[in-house]
Amino acid sequence: MEWIADVSRGEWLRARLDGSFDTMHGVVPRGFAAYARVFHPASVRSQYDDRPATWSDAASAFGTIMHPLAQWQSLVRTPHEEQWHTRNAPDGREFSAPMEGEIEPQMLAHIAAHLSAHTGTPDDGVAAVWSGYGGLLGFFGETPARTFITFQGDDGEPGVNPGADARHEQMLARSIHDPFNNVFRKPTWQPGILPDEVSKGPQLELPGREYVLFSAPPAAFADPNWVLDAPWRDGPGEAHGFPPSAQHPNIVWPADHAWTMVSEIDFDSTIVAGSADLVAAICADPRLEAEPIPADADLSWRADGINR
């Protein structure tokens, strides 16, 4: 995988996107035979354990109906203006909402296995990563985009506190800002995960979003260890003791444009646009919770006309 400075590789998408976000085609290209919606996993907590949960699990627990255009807030019966990220089901279990714009490497690998089988160019493609992820790009500013907290272990050595929740620590380490201690500091170049050449280089501009492009064989993502080869792998985080990680690409397409996978940062599902056979294969995979959806589908949070 390598950085692509020629953003014209992604210009074909612009002509297939709407200028508005009234339907999914604000971010998902038109012109494909079929579309699949892959639902991001939720999680459920009981008195015994925490575990992944499907949207169908939530619908069963809350007495609602799972369907292709379901919206999480409605599925878990969220009253108007109340918190929907965590909801308690009638049986006492606590359901937490799916992640938006984020899927685990293993889930991407399941999807990518199907994608690779439905293109004539499985070894030639493009991955687009949203440029707005914290710490990804360098910038001129008064303070770094993030600072790292080092915990002291029982042996006195710096490291991650083994008694704390790793995900929470990653959030702290990767997200803490310090806007107060350097109020009068002049803006200087703050490096990001990507090299300065990439940070200062051109980006693909699509409606409401900008992306950094990388050459990426679609087949590479069928291996959950793809993060080890990603140029946007979080080297600074690893230097501070965190395991290898890389934000999964938000858009992937093969050189022959046979399909497009879109994980919009504000969507709690990933959309695959392609052939009818591809969509059928993804929706039939028991490892994925996926449903076919029509063109012009409304995926906004108010779109669930069944669970109201």
The residue ranges of every structural domain in the chain are 1-40+100-138+191-299, 42-98, 144-186
pLDDT of residue 47: 73
> What is the torsional sign of CA 134, 138, 139, 143?
positive
Question: What does pTM read for this prediction?
Answer: 0.83
Instruction: Split the chain (308 residues) into runs of 10 and give each run's mean pLDDT.
Output: 91 90 92 97 86 94 96 91 87 92 91 96 94 77 57 48 42 48 65 84 91 93 90 80 84 97 94 98 97 94 87
- What's the DSSP call for residue 214? E
CB 32 within 8 A of CB 273: yes
Q: pLDDT value at position 174?
A: 47
Q: In this predicted structure, what is the pLDDT of residue 150?
A: 55
Confidence at residue 43, expressed as pLDDT on a 0 to 100 scale: 93
Q: Tell me the C-alpha distance between 207 and 209, whole Å.
A: 6
Distance from C-alpha of 308 to C-alpha of 304, rounded to nearest angstrom: 7
Could you count the other beta carbons within 10 Å of the beta carbon of residue 306?
A: 13
According to the model, what pLDDT value does residue 196 have? 85
- Mean pLDDT for all residues in the chain: 85
Position 172 scores a pLDDT of 45
